[in-house]
Structure 1
Amino acid sequence: MLAGCVAHRAGPPPPPPPAVVYIPRPPPAEMVEAMPPPPDPRPIWVWQKGHWRWDGREYVWHPGHWFERPPHVAEWVPPHWEQHANGWFLIEGHWR
């Protein structure tokens, strides 16, 4: 580094990506849920349907819920499980 130059970081480094956890058996079938009306009539609400999560020992159902859409996003991709040679793994819900 040149004398008199100071390196600046824009905040802490980003966290490492989460480790992929492979489950040897597939998740149970999705539960059927009744989707309640959104909290209010504004078109900012997105329904995240319920899904199975792995708690380290077994699959646990997380019920669906409404959440607010961030500005300037296109589409919500719900959490879902995919099969790989090492087992099943969860793809977290995300915006694209």
Structure 2
Amino acid sequence: MAMRPLMLAAVLGVATLAGAHAPLAQARTYVGVDVRVAPPPPRYERVRVRPGYVWAPGHWRWDGRGYYWVGGAYVVSRPGYVYVGPRWHAYGPAWRFHPGRWERR
């Protein structure tokens, strides 16, 4: 009978320590999808200067059946970084999408 509370305390202690030392999750994932149909040319978007913000241009998104346009948006600027917009790259006979990202200067 006295063993049960001791075992419960040990299990809770190990569970607490395991949660405290869990590795950080990766924020960026990549799912490789090759599209055999070239994306249309980008649409023109009128951009105005907004201090403290960077324009993230719009891009074509593939939904499995065809492309649809995702309009651009302002993103809060990050000092010491440059924003690289999303783009499609030819990869052999197919196309691959690379999302927008921040790169150090």
**What TM-score does the superposition give when structure 2 sets the normalisation length?**
0.68
Q: Give the C-alpha shift of residue 86 in structure 1.
A: 5.0
In the TM superposition, 1:63-78 aligns within 5 A as 63-70=71-78, 72-78=79-85
Q: Give the C-alpha shift of residue 16 in structure 1.
A: 7.6
Partner of 1:95: 102
Match of 2:46 among 23, 34, 39: 34
Q: Give the C-alpha shift of residue 17 in structure 1.
A: 2.8
Whose helix fraction is larger, Structure 1's or Structure 2's? 2
The alignment's C-alpha RMSD in Å is: 2.2
Separation in 1 of the partners of 2:68 and 2:53? 25
> Is the CA contact (8 Å cut-off) linking 1:21 and 1:89 kept in structure 2?
yes
The number of residue pairs the alignment matches comes to 85
Separation in 2 of the partners of 1:17 and 1:85? 22
Q: Are the structure 2 counterparts of residues 85 and 74 from structure 1 closer, same or farther at C-alpha, using a change threshold of 3 Å?
A: same
Partner of 1:19: 31
Separation in 2 of the partners of 1:31 and 1:62? 10
The structure whose RCO (Cα within 8 Å, separation 6+) is larger is: 1
1:75 aligned counterpart, secondary structure: strand
Separation in 1 of the partners of 2:54 and 2:66? 28
Structure 2 residue identity aligned to 1:33: E
Partner of 1:81: 88
**What TM-score does the superposition give when structure 1 sets the normalisation length?**
0.74
Unaligned runs of 5+ in 2: 1-16
Separation in 1 of the partners of 2:27 and 2:73? 27
Q: Are the structure 2 counterparts of residues 51 and 85 from structure 1 closer, same or farther at C-alpha, using a change threshold of 3 Å?
A: same
Q: Are the structure 2 counterparts of residues 93 and 87 from structure 1 closer, same or farther at C-alpha, using a change threshold of 3 Å?
A: same
